[in-house]
Amino acid sequence: MKTMKLIVPFFLILFSIVMLISSFNLQKANLGNPYGPIYFPAGISIFMLIFSIIYLMQELKNIHKENPSIKLMLSGRTPRLICVTILFGIIYSFLFERVGFLISTFLFLGALLFFINGKRKWIVNTVVALSFSFISWYAFSELLGVSLP
């Protein structure tokens, strides 16, 4: 279990190296500075590599310490909430294009709120899901002029 904490820093280091190499393989610009398109992704990759190495060193330093917050997070209802939220998010992404923003967002938030708050607070769950869906649709569609499906 203790070595599991090292998987994420190693993955991030590997990912940042791949991104750095890939950024140097980008096509050079025809106008202006030929290396202009390379600077930003290379810079982000270098920062990510530096912070991933720092993260790895911190994890190596703290590998033998117990973390009570992780134990607390993995106990009780939390793992089920995480899994259900991911499942609802996947269903939401499939519904989004088919039924549109307003209906899919209302269904997603309603289902998530009913799962978290229970059936007893059905009025609050429905009002929050409906009002958030409508207000966000109105803000993007009407005020900002962003077309939503």
The reported pLDDT for the residue numbered 86 is 93
Q: Are 38 and 23 in contact (CB under 8 A)?
A: yes
pLDDT (mean) for 135-143: 88
4 has a pLDDT exceeding 90 = no
16 has a pLDDT exceeding 90 = yes
The reported pLDDT for the residue numbered 15 is 94
- Percentage of the chain modeled with pLDDT above 70: 92
Under the banding of pLDDT at 50, 70 and 90, the label for residue 2 is low
Q: Are 128 and 109 in contact (CB under 8 A)?
A: yes
**Average pLDDT over the chain, rounded to whole?**
86
Tell me, yes or no, if the pTM score tops 0.75.
Answer: no
Half-sphere exposure of 129 (CA within 13 A, CB side): 22
The reported pLDDT for the residue numbered 88 is 94
Tell me how far apart the alpha carbons of residues 131 and 113 are, in angstroms, rounded to a whole number: 13
Q: 17-74, pLDDT tens digit by residue?
A: 999 999 988 888 788 777 778 888 999 999 999 999 999 998 888 777 766 766 776 7
Each domain of the chain, given as residue ranges in start order, spans 2-65, 78-143
Label each residue of the chain as H, E or C: CHHHHHHHHHHHHHHHHHHHHHHHCCCCCCCCCCCHHHHHHHHHHHHHHHHHHHHHHHHHHCCCCCCHHHHHHCCCCHHHHHHHHHHHHHHHHHHHHHHCHHHHHHHHHHHHHHHHHCHHHHHHHHHHHHHHHHHHHHHHHHHCCCCCC
pLDDT (mean) for 105-133: 91
The reported pLDDT for the residue numbered 146 is 81
